Structure 1
Amino acid sequence: MKDSVTFWGTGDSMGVPRVYCSCDICDEARGAGSNRRYRSSIMLHAGDSELLVDCGPDWRGQMERAGKRFVERVLITHAHFDHIGGLPEWADACRWLKRKGRLYAPLEVLQTIQKQFPWLQNQLQFHDCAGGLQWEHWRIRPWRVCHGKNGYSYAYRFERTAGPSYAFVYCPDSIRLSDEEKAPLFGLQLLILGTNFYKEEAAPATRSVYDMVEALELISEISPGRVIFTHMSHGVDLARSYPLPSFVSLAQTGLTIELEPS
């Protein structure tokens, strides 16, 4: 089996549809559903091994959709609810199945999670990966990125250590990256980047995630081989054609990408 990444969720912090909203995109999401978006998460596959990145409040539905009853390893980008809201349900599954889950994140993220859910360590093994993590034949490196008004998040760079050379980054929550924060984004075959809107009109001081227009400026600087936008709000319509380069596309729930050189 080839290494791959599957998009379990592609939505922003509130998901799509918004419960209060009757815009065209939310109404379409309730009906045909092409714009229905669960909170952002990806599942990585390396042979028979799996690694889930982020475990938000839609985790149970995402597990049911994938036909799974257990996941052993979860890597967390930051301790905001849309990325950790499913951890209690995962821990409960571990309790009933009498299996330990393995939770990976930089120490400060683990400490925040422990304060919010102090009983999780009864069922989960916490692993500090601030110095990096080896998972199967992938070396995983975390680094802090600006999350705008929400402080900071972590992005992860994955580099294959055996077999065909390949490097990709998962960065769902970031904006206004400094030169130092951009450094790990060079030399990528694939960049998965969060973009809430095509063009966001909110005041810069209130924002926390790139829009697509800003992201294209970043992409022109770092020159990745392929880009997929995720973490999208109800301001993004998958039926619309946005002026994007041919190597840039929008994520959809269930989309699977093989992590192989083109």
Structure 2
Amino acid sequence: MRITFLGTGTSQGVPLIGSKHPVCLSDNPKDKRLRSSILIEKNHKIFLIDCGPDFRYQMLRSHHKKLNAIFITHEHYDHIGGLDDLRPINLKIKKPIPVYGLRRVLENLKKRFYYIFSENKSNTSKISIHELDDDTDFFLVEYFKVFPLSILHGALPILGFRIEDFAYITDASSIPIPTMKKLRGLNVLVLNVLRKVPKHHSHFTLSESLKMVQKIAPKKTYLTHISHLLGFHEDIQKKLPKNVYLAYDGLII
């Protein structure tokens, strides 16, 4: 399995528009972060988790040209804002792209991207929606088992996803016990971290993320959804525990 980090930043990305924060002014490419999203490739199939507003540039930068399915964690703009840019991929593969998410999320897509679902949709992206719920143990996509993971983003229920021994969790502030059981035996975990302090109501801080890593005990962890307030990439990486890494845009594992 091959994982490409298309983006590793928070909802505003890094640098922030107009910011004079030292991290925003950094010349290190690893301190420049588009909105969080990953590609999963296996057996010539390509799955996208979240389709944010930087999607077009992310796909051009990574030289990817097709998708077999999209998994949506939740309906916030930084995770769905790029759905309009699926159209060139539709034209290439000549069929709708399956999109998987919670009912609430899919209903939100129907409202915000109503023109995609209208009868007159000749010049729009084409997607087919597939509803997941709390009772969904796993679903099959291109013969792969995908396990949705119930996560809390503040008070908002959202999803993470597990395929084989890889799991992706973003925007979490809490992971319920039943989900923790589904995270046993991971080779690679991707987990969100916002900043060091202060505590945030809907995102893990660094200390909270590291405590969660200790509980889940994957072989390796990559931290994503990072704000400029966490600090410089190189400085933070030196202080992380063994086998815990800051992800960065373009990283391939």
The TM-score normalised by the length of structure 2 is 0.87
Stretches of structure 1 that go unaligned for 5 or more consecutive residues are 160-166, 258-262
Task: Letter of the 1:126 partner, please give it.
Answer: I
Hey, what's the Cα distance between the residues in 2 that align with 1:255 and 1:221? 25
Contact 1:94 1:100 (8 Å CA) reproduced? no
Query: Quick one: which of 59, 66, 71 aligns to 1:63?
Result: 59
Q: Report what 1:240 is aligned to.
A: 235
Q: Report what 2:191 is aligned to.
A: 193
Hey, what's the Cα distance between the residues in 2 that align with 1:143 and 1:253? 24
Instruction: State the Cα deviation string for residues 121-163 of structure 1 (Å, max 9, x = none).
Output: 34211122442322345311113211015x222111222xxxx
1:104 Cα offset (Å): 1.7
Task: Kindly report the root-mean-square deviation, in angstroms, between the aligned alpha carbons of the 2 structures.
Answer: 1.9
1:55 Cα offset (Å): 0.4
Task: Letter of the 1:116 partner, please give it.
Answer: R
Q: Report what 1:25 is aligned to.
A: 23
- Percentage identity across paired residues of the two chains: 31
Q: Report what 2:128 is aligned to.
A: 125
Instruction: State the Cα deviation string for residues 147-203 of structure 1 (Å, max 9, x = none).
Output: 015x222111222xxxxxxx1211011013332342222221111001011x1214x
Higher mean Cα deviation, 136-145 or 51-60?
Answer: 136-145
Q: Report what 1:6 is aligned to.
A: 4
Contact 2:159 2:169 (8 Å CA) reproduced? yes
Query: Quick one: which of 219, 223, 228 aligns to 1:229?
Result: 223
- 1:208 and 2:205 matched: no
Hey, what's the Cα distance between the residues in 2 that align with 1:153 and 1:250? 23
Stretches of structure 2 that go unaligned for 5 or more consecutive residues are none
Compared CA separation, residues 129 and 228, structure 1 to 2 (3 A)? same
Q: Report what 2:33 is aligned to.
A: 37
The TM-score normalised by the length of structure 1 is 0.84
Q: Report what 1:135 is aligned to.
A: 141
Q: Report what 2:83 is aligned to.
A: 87
Task: Letter of the 2:46 partner, please give it.
Answer: E
Query: Quick one: which of 49, 61, 76 aligns to 2:45?
Result: 49
Contact 2:38 2:49 (8 Å CA) reproduced? yes
Q: Report what 1:152 is aligned to.
A: 157
Contact 2:45 2:68 (8 Å CA) reproduced? no
Q: Report what 1:260 is aligned to.
A: none
Hey, what's the Cα distance between the residues in 1 that align with 2:140 and 2:91? 28
1:94 Cα offset (Å): 5.0
Task: Letter of the 1:23 partner, please give it.
Answer: H
Higher mean Cα deviation, 51-60 or 178-187?
Answer: 178-187
SS for the counterpart of 2:61 is helix
Hey, what's the Cα distance between the residues in 2 that align with 1:136 and 1:94? 18
Aligned residue pair count: 240
Compared CA separation, residues 224 and 155, structure 1 to 2 (3 A)? same
